[in-house]
Amino acid sequence: MVTRTKPDPEIYLKACEALGVEPEHALVLEDSLNGLKAAVAAKIPAIMIPDLVKDMPEIEPFLAAKLGELGDVIGFIENERRHGQE
């Protein structure tokens, strides 16, 4: 369904379009450098969930968060919601 692969943002932009969601209101969970680069290029907030590679200093400053595991995402989102309501 896409013609270009990550780090091109096409896959994320098409997903947002198909879902009717503006990129800034989406959230990407990624473990790869190319996936994170694609999210940043699409202007979609991205959370790094490290897998084989634990540190990616070249992309980490552009991320919404770097979390230890997938289960940490729920707490992150709840915390963001609380801070957004203050």
Amino acid code (one letter) for 6? K
The pTM of this model reads: 0.89
Residue 82: which H helix or E strand, with range?
A: helix 72-85
Summarize the confidence of residues 34-39 as an average pLDDT.
97
For residue 29, the SS3 value is: strand
Taking only the tens place, the pLDDT of each residue in 20-35 is 999 999 999 999 999 9
**What domains lie within the chain, and their CATH numbers?**
10-85 (3.40.50.1000)
Predicted local distance difference test score (pLDDT) of residue 86: 66
- C-alpha–C-alpha distance, residues 69 and 54, integer Å: 11
Summarize the confidence of residues 55-81 as an average pLDDT.
95
- C-alpha–C-alpha distance, residues 86 and 83, integer Å: 5
Sign of the alpha-carbon torsion through 19, 21, 22, 25: negative
